[in-house]
Structure 1
Amino acid sequence: MVSILMRSHLFLQCLCLLASLSLVFTSQAISIQEASITDLQLASKQNKLTSRQLTKFYLCKICRLNPVVRAIIEVNPDGLKCANRADQESKAKKHDLLSILRGIPILLKDNIGTKDKQNTMAGLFALLGSTVARDAGVVARLRRAGAVILGKANMNEWKSYVLSADPCSISSGSAISVVANMVAVSLGTETNGSILCPASLYSAVGIKPTLGLTSRAGVIPITPRQDTTGPICRTVSDAVYVLDAIVGYDHNDAEATREASKYIPRGGYKVSQSSWSLWQETGQAGAVLVDNLKIKNIDVILNFNLSGKGTAVLAEFKIAQDAYLEELVLRSFADIIAFNQKNSKLQIGQDMFLASEATNGIGDVEKSALFNMANQSRNGFEKLMMQNNLDAIVTPGFEAVLVLAIGKFPGISVPAGYDDKGVPFGICSGGLKGSEPKLIEIAHSFEQATKIRKPPSFKP
């Protein structure tokens, strides 16, 4: 996999900004560090902050910290132009009529396609310089909301909250860039824990939506059966703002987004500022916490091979990659493998690619694996939830990610504490399809009751 790609314009922009940015905010009563979307928009409304200033601030932070954390693989060369446009739109319209994301910089995981001057590589040098046909569905929605696409987050050169700790999964760049205050919010993708896991380990908030709630179109796939895109942010409210902006029907992912659209609440996703008091009142009125529940065949579900996931994913990966690559210069999965073999010094290992290439579609073995996983989900998690009349299950860390993955269920991770080495851990709430509103309420209540998250102390 790619170690790191640092485009020259990232350094050029940083060099130009270093001298100028140190004084930009000293005369204003604004603290950009740890600022929420609401904080930033309030400063904008009070004419204390522009999108251009905010974007420059984050570019400077990237320049200073990225050599240490290596979270960002590329910055958008047109990022400041996008910020200027957002500022112009803000002047032309009443602030209250603008999207909450107007002018807010956002980073995208490197497998989320952008039809601009940035690459979309998913950590593959073979895709360097390839041009995607269109913005990913979620990116198109972010642009319509006026967000500033700041750059692409690294997928493979991981650095964690504590630099000596083991990294987790492949949305780590999205998570660490947010917690290190190199961007306001970010997008990650999840197949088997790639949002919930890094959110837990890096003291961030991550939302894995119900499959189809956010479009998969234009996102480099692993398996459409489990792939989903969601926000990674510092607070639950920020994550909800982003989620609300990216959900909805997309004709390029028609079947899944049409089916999931029924779950979107009228009026969108919201966070109640009184949710903690409401939660307390609910508990006093007889809400029940059910401890020590066990999902049937959980040991099988959590085993990548015994569950059938390994068999199914390898076949699905090849099919999904071939479908995605049809619109690019490299036309097939085999082309990727051939490039990697020819350029072995650039690409570190491709065992999964070779194993996937050896598959031959969805045959009897794969169908059996898919059938078994459906049964595991139906007779395990779904049955547990319905028999016990549960709103959600709550687990420490990211123990439930595989359970949620095979059932296409949503989950939210919020910071819950730190171990004796200072490594963060989260708490994850998961529920049945479409249960995001309840999960948001639970997550926000826990966040407001504990306020346990603290920023890391990275130094350049």
Structure 2
Amino acid sequence: MAALPSFSLFLLLLTASQLQAFEFHEATVDSINQAFAAGHLTSRQLVEFYLDQIRRLNPLLRAVIEVSPDALREADRADAERSSGRLRSGGLHGIPVLLKENIGTRGPLNTTAGSFALLGSFVPQDAGVVGRLRRAGAVILGTASLSEWAHFRGDYIPNGWSARGGQGRVTDPCGSSSGSGIAAAANMAAVTLGTETDGSILCPSTLNSVVGIKPTVGLTSRAGVIPISPRQDSVGPICRTVSDAVQVLEVIAGYDARDSATVEAVKYIPKGGYKQFLKIDGLKGKRLGILKDYFNYPLGSVEAKAFEKHFQTMR
């Protein structure tokens, strides 16, 4: 009998009721939290799944630069806290997050913007958004690949390429948060973070059919993030659903003494936060315009079929 992959063997050890209760692929923050609450899932099991996805898929997709050696330990801590009744606020307790590799993390992960020039750069303090994720109990799974130096290296460097991560592989990796977009689409993390100066969250999200939010400058802290432009840089979520992206934004948005732009921007965070606007009937009564010239896909193509399916869902 051929040897089973480590996570396949792990799954066989789970009870049938657990397997029926939770679907790992395309899991959302809400479905994960429901499974946590019902006792059908642990953070360790979730991290094991994503680590296995990275082991299997990353040699082809090149979406991840490093995985954190502390990820399983952080997952165990989240499980222990949950078992003792200590549930952190924000909805990301025990949820694995991949960070674009220009976002600084203290401890075992490099922060190099994909460049060998900074290899061995271990920052002494978390970036502002990472500190917020940790306080919410999120598990830092690792770092996502990117266009080297957030594509501020030269006009002829391919999208999604870095010396450390190699070439990210999708139809077009597009903006510099390429690894975050690929990883979200390929179920290599529950949620991811990207950064944008000009299109680097929105473009890879579009090309990977995932959801990206580029916040107003200063709504999320840029402290501890390798910069390009103080007038344009922003950190935001890249996730598989609108709901997931909103829940991540709610955790990472807010004041940071290390980023003066947050002083003004946080005044516009709505009282009660962003999750209050997640309404299942939010499109009821709305009229949507479709840019047919932009979405002019060849008849019968995968893109045309996917677009029509999404259009009918909204209708």
TM-score by structure 2 length?
0.83
Taking the aligned partners of 1:83 and 1:35, their CA distance within structure 2 comes to 17
Q: How many residues align?
A: 289
Q: Residue 195 of structure 2 contacts residue 236 of structure 2 at CA under 8 Å; is this kept in 1?
A: yes
Q: Which one has a larger percent helix, Structure 1 or Structure 2?
A: 1
Counterpart amino acid of residue 138 in structure 1: V
Does 1:34 pair with 2:26?
yes
Instruction: Report what 1:380 is aligned to.
Output: none
Q: Residue 180 of structure 2 contacts residue 193 of structure 2 at CA under 8 Å; is this kept in 1?
A: yes
Taking the aligned partners of 2:107 and 2:250, their CA distance within structure 1 comes to 24
Does 1:280 pair with 2:143?
no
Does 1:115 pair with 2:115?
no
Does 1:73 pair with 2:65?
yes
Counterpart amino acid of residue 29 in structure 2: I
Taking the aligned partners of 1:448 and 1:36, their CA distance within structure 2 comes to 21
Residue from 60, 75, 79 that aligns with 1:83: 75
Instruction: Report what 1:242 is aligned to.
Output: 248
Q: Bigger relative contact order, structure 1 or 2, given CA contacts below 8 A and separation 6+?
A: 1
Taking the aligned partners of 1:424 and 1:75, their CA distance within structure 2 comes to 36
Q: Could you tell me how far 1:116 is from its partner in structure 2?
A: 1.2
Residue from 165, 170, 190 that aligns with 2:196: 190
Instruction: Report what 2:213 is aligned to.
Output: 207
1:396-435 alignment to 2 at 5 Å? 421-422=301-302
Q: Residue 201 of structure 1 contacts residue 425 of structure 1 at CA under 8 Å; is this kept in 2?
A: no
Instruction: Report what 2:56 is aligned to.
Output: 64
TM-score by structure 1 length?
0.58
Taking the aligned partners of 1:110 and 1:263, their CA distance within structure 2 comes to 28
Instruction: Report what 1:298 is aligned to.
Output: none
Residue by residue over 1:285-337, the C-alpha shift from the partner in whole angstroms, topping out at 9 and shown as x without a partner, is xxxx7x8xxxxxxxxxxxxxxxxxxxxxxxxxxxxxxxxxxxxxxxxxxxxxx
Q: Could you tell me how far 1:86 is from its partner in structure 2?
A: 0.6
Secondary structure (helix, strand or coil) at the match of 1:107 reads strand
Instruction: Report what 2:137 is aligned to.
Output: 146
Unaligned runs of 5+ in 2: 147-160
RMSD between superposed Cα atoms in Å: 3.0
Q: Could you tell me how far 1:19 is from its partner in structure 2?
A: 6.0
Q: Residue 201 of structure 1 contacts residue 424 of structure 1 at CA under 8 Å; is this kept in 2?
A: no
Q: Residue 201 of structure 1 contacts residue 426 of structure 1 at CA under 8 Å; is this kept in 2?
A: no
Counterpart amino acid of residue 97 in structure 2: I
Q: Could you tell me how far 1:99 is from its partner in structure 2?
A: 3.3
Q: Residue 145 of structure 2 contacts residue 168 of structure 2 at CA under 8 Å; is this kept in 1?
A: no
Taking the aligned partners of 1:282 and 1:19, their CA distance within structure 2 comes to 45
Q: Could you tell me how far 1:130 is from its partner in structure 2?
A: 1.3
**TM-aligned CA distance change 1:272 to 1:215, over 3 Å:** closer
Counterpart amino acid of residue 194 in structure 1: S
Instruction: Report what 2:168 is aligned to.
Output: 159
Q: Residue 7 of structure 2 contacts residue 48 of structure 2 at CA under 8 Å; is this kept in 1?
A: no
Structure number with bigger Rg: 1
1:37-436 alignment to 2 at 5 Å? 37-93=29-85, 98-155=89-146, 156=161, 157-161=166-170, 165-253=171-259, 255-270=260-275, 272=277, 274=279, 276=281, 278-281=282-285, 421-422=301-302
Taking the aligned partners of 2:31 and 2:215, their CA distance within structure 1 comes to 25
Instruction: Report what 2:12 is aligned to.
Output: 23
Q: Could you tell me how far 1:20 is from its partner in structure 2?
A: 3.9
Counterpart amino acid of residue 240 in structure 1: V
Q: Could you tell me how far 1:160 is from its partner in structure 2?
A: 4.4
Residue by residue over 1:272-292, the C-alpha shift from the partner in whole angstroms, topping out at 9 and shown as x without a partner, is 45454x543365xxxxx7x8x
Q: Could you tell me how far 1:208 is from its partner in structure 2?
A: 0.2
**TM-aligned CA distance change 1:249 to 1:159, over 3 Å:** same
Taking the aligned partners of 2:184 and 2:292, their CA distance within structure 1 comes to 22
Instruction: Report what 2:155 is aligned to.
Output: none
Taking the aligned partners of 1:146 and 1:273, their CA distance within structure 2 comes to 22
Taking the aligned partners of 1:131 and 1:274, their CA distance within structure 2 comes to 41
